[in-house]
């Protein structure tokens, strides 16, 4: 009879542990109440003494209210692969502050044989008592999170009324509790707004910002960034947009163009946002509606009988190739006049001077209204003005600000207007490279010269496209 095989001893404790560190926000915090990553790791290593430390997984600047975290996803993958026997945390609040999601995550780990160890509360989920204690502590952690959130909401509201932004958006630094532009990332954020407003795809903007920062970014995060009114010098509290005390990283016109494009492209799949023709976003009807491509023709979409309906007379169905041909002809003719026609050059200079005067006046009105809004919010915070008086004054200042901003957005920027000869040379280069350029490159190059292309409704049967098109130039 063969000898019996000796059974191996079953270990009383897990042998392979992963240490999980989470901090909601570093932001230069310190003091006894702050559990820094180093403090957490030291405590967990004392708890897991004698075990094999597989890895230290960190979620820095991540809230515990949800489980959409890179660190949690990594722990899931390690548990699926059978690489860990225990998950160590400093305390249960580091794991999460949402009871339902936390318990679901714990059940998921338990099914894979992973035990939870808490260094601070001495919780071990390998025992029934430990599992009961952990459930109760998670409920307490969620309650404390709710209380903290309620207190922070009031603090954020009070800071916003003083024009102070809560947190630190990408592209800013904090000095003496005030946002100041980051000398490296700040200009990159401003350039990202300019590129997207000029027609660059969001993927290209994401690639540009990732290269500047040296950190990978996603298109979704960049779209959220482009929606953040903090870059316009604003703060948001309770759904209300207020004037902030920090400097903006983009101007009103660029912001308007970016928001309009984000609205137009909302929900569209990436393949639908590719440049399928050179004049995309430039061609309008007489009422300012952007024309849409249908096959090889253009339609208004807001005209009578069109998809969106309306009372716009529309433009019929002009052929895209003929619209593009006439646009290039007018661009070439304008460049030739800039070189030879003194009247055209004088008219251009007058338009630039007039626009500069109008822009300076509007910028002064806008800055004065914003300064008054900050002063009003400060006065209200210090002396509690009657609500009726405060709301009336704020409404009037908001009206003035929005009116000036809207007029300013309609003006083309004039600070970088090229000289007539330089603009004519730029047009010659554009026309020479046109056959070899992609639709996206054509659109970008054309926007440097052309403000919009207006297509009028036909006045007679089969009126040629060339008689219904007027190109409006930037300068």
Residue-wise pLDDT tens digits, 236-287: 765 667 777 888 889 989 999 999 888 877 766 555 556 778 888 888 888 8
Q: Tokens 């509790």 belong to which residue? A: 177
Confidence bin at 325 (pLDDT 50/70/90): very high
Instruction: Report the alpha-carbon distance of residue 235 to residue 161 in Å, rounded.
Output: 9
Q: Which of 254, 291, 279 is nearest to 412 (CA)?
A: 254
Residues 6+ apart with CB under 8 A from 70: 59
Instruction: Report the alpha-carbon distance of residue 378 to residue 369 in Å, rounded.
Output: 14
- Residue 226, pLDDT above cutoff 90: yes
Task: Please give the C-alpha separations between residue 196 and each of 118, 189, 256, 329, 452, in angstroms, as whole numbers.
Answer: 47, 11, 11, 28, 17
Q: Which of 457, 469, 154, 143 is nearest to 299 (CA)?
A: 457
Do residues 369 and 377 make contact, with C-beta atoms less than 8 angstroms apart?
A: no
Please list, residue by residue across 261-291, b when 16 or more beta carbons sit within 10 angstroms of its beta carbon and e when fewer do: beeeeeeeeeeeeebebbbbbbbbbbeebbb
Dihedral angle sign, alpha carbons of residues 355, 356, 361, 364: positive
pLDDT score at 20: 92
Residue-wise pLDDT tens digits, 438-465: 888 888 888 888 888 999 988 888 899 8
More confident residue, 78 or 105: 78
pLDDT score at 18: 93
Confidence bin at 214 (pLDDT 50/70/90): confident
- Residue 151, pLDDT above cutoff 80: no
Q: Tokens 């000029």 belong to which residue? A: 198
- Report H helices in 52-127: 70-80, 92-95, 99-111
Q: What percent of the chain has pLDDT over 90?
A: 12
- Region 389-413 average pLDDT: 73
Instruction: Report the alpha-carbon distance of residue 440 to residue 286 in Å, rounded.
Output: 25
Picking from 91-100, 112-121, 327-336, which range would have the lowest pLDDT averaged per residue? Answer: 91-100
Confidence bin at 204 (pLDDT 50/70/90): confident
Confidence bin at 14 (pLDDT 50/70/90): low
Do residues 414 and 356 make contact, with C-beta atoms less than 8 angstroms apart?
A: yes
The pLDDT mean for the chain works out to 77
Instruction: Report the alpha-carbon distance of residue 277 to residue 136 in Å, rounded.
Output: 61
pLDDT score at 255: 92
For residue 277, the Cα-to-chain-centroid distance in whole angstroms is: 27
Confidence bin at 156 (pLDDT 50/70/90): very low
pLDDT score at 175: 82
Picking from 90-99, 147-156, 203-212, 293-302, which range would have the lowest pLDDT averaged per residue? Answer: 147-156
In degrees and rounded to multiples of 5, residue 284 shows phi and psi of: -135, 160
Instruction: Report the alpha-carbon distance of residue 349 to residue 326 in Å, rounded.
Output: 25
pLDDT score at 398: 79
* Number of residues in the chain: 475
* Residue 181: HSE in the Cβ half-sphere, 13 Å Cα cutoff: 15
Instruction: Report the alpha-carbon distance of residue 448 to residue 456 in Å, rounded.
Output: 23
Instruction: Report the alpha-carbon distance of residue 458 to residue 467 in Å, rounded.
Output: 9
- For the CA atoms of 184, 189, 190, 195, the dihedral, rounded to the nearest 10 degrees, stands at 120
In order of their start, the domains of the chain are: 16-153 (3.40.50.1390), 162-268 (3.90.1750.20)
pLDDT score at 134: 58
- For the CA atoms of 269, 275, 276, 279, the dihedral, rounded to the nearest 10 degrees, stands at 130
Q: What angle do CA 58, 64, 69 make, to 5 degrees?
A: 50
Confidence bin at 399 (pLDDT 50/70/90): confident
More confident residue, 81 or 201: 81
pLDDT score at 152: 46
Instruction: Report the alpha-carbon distance of residue 349 to residue 325 in Å, rounded.
Output: 28
Q: Which of 217, 308, 218 is nearest to 264 (CA)?
A: 308
Q: What percent of the chain has pLDDT over 70?
A: 75
- Adjacent-strand bridge partners of 303: 312
Q: Tokens 């046109």 belong to which residue? A: 434
């Amino acid at each position: 009879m063969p000898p019996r095989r000796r059974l191996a001893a079953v270990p009383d404790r897990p042998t392979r542990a992963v240490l999980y560190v989470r901090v909601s926000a570093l932001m230069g915090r310190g003091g006894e109440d702050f559990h820094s990553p180093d403090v957490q790791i030291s405590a967990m290593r004392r708890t897991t003494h004698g075990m094999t430390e597989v890895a230290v997984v960190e979620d820095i600047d991540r809230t515990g209210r949800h489980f959409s975290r890179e660190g949690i996803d990594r722990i899931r993958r390690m548990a699926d692969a059978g690489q860990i026997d225990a998950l160590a945390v400093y305390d249960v609040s580091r794991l999460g502050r949402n009871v339902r999601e936390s318990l679901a995550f714990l059940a998921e780990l338990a099914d894979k044989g992973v035990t939870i160890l808490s260094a601070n509360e001495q919780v071990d989920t390998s025992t029934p008592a430990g599992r009961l204690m952990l459930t109760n502590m998670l409920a307490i952690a969620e309650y404390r999170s709710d209380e903290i959130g309620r207190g922070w909401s009031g603090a954020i509201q009070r800071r916003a009324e003083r024009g102070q932004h809560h947190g630190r958006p990408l592209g800013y630094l904090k000095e003496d509790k005030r946002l100041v532009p980051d000398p490296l990332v700040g200009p990159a954020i401003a350039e990202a707004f300019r590129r997207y407003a000029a027609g660059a795809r969001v993927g290209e903007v994401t690639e540009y910002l990732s290269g500047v920062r040296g950190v990978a970014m996603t298109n979704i995060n960049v779209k959220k960034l482009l929606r953040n009114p903090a870059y316009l010098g604003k703060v948001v509290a309770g759904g209300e947009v207020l004037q902030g005390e920090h400097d903006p990283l983009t101007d009103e016109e660029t912001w308007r163009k970016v928001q309009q494009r984000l609205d137009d492209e909302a929900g569209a799949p990436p393949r639908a946002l590719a440049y399928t023709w050179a004049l995309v976003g430039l061609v309008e009807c007489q009422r300012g509606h952007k024309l849409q491509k249908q096959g090889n023709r253009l339609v208004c979409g807001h005209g009578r009988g069109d998809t969106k309906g309306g009372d716009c007379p529309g433009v019929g169905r002009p052929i895209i190739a003929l619209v593009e041909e006439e646009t290039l002809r007018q661009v070439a003719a304008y460049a030739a006049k800039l070189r030879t026609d003194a009247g055209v050059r004088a008219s251009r200079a007058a338009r630039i001077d007039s626009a500069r005067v109008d822009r300076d006046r509007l910028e002064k009105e806008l800055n004065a209204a914003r300064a008054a809004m900050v002063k009003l919010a400060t006065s209200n915070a210090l002396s509690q003005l009657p609500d009726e008086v405060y709301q009336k004054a704020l409404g009037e200042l908001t009206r003035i600000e929005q009116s000036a901003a809207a007029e300013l957005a309609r003006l083309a920027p004039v600070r970088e207007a090229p000289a007539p000869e330089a603009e004519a040379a730029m047009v010659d280069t554009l026309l020479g490279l046109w056959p070899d350029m992609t639709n996206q490159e054509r659109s970008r190059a054309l926007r440097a010269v052309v403000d919009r292309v207006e297509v009028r409704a036909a006045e007679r049967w089969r009126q040629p496209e060339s008689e219904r098109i007027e190109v409006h130039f930037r300068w």
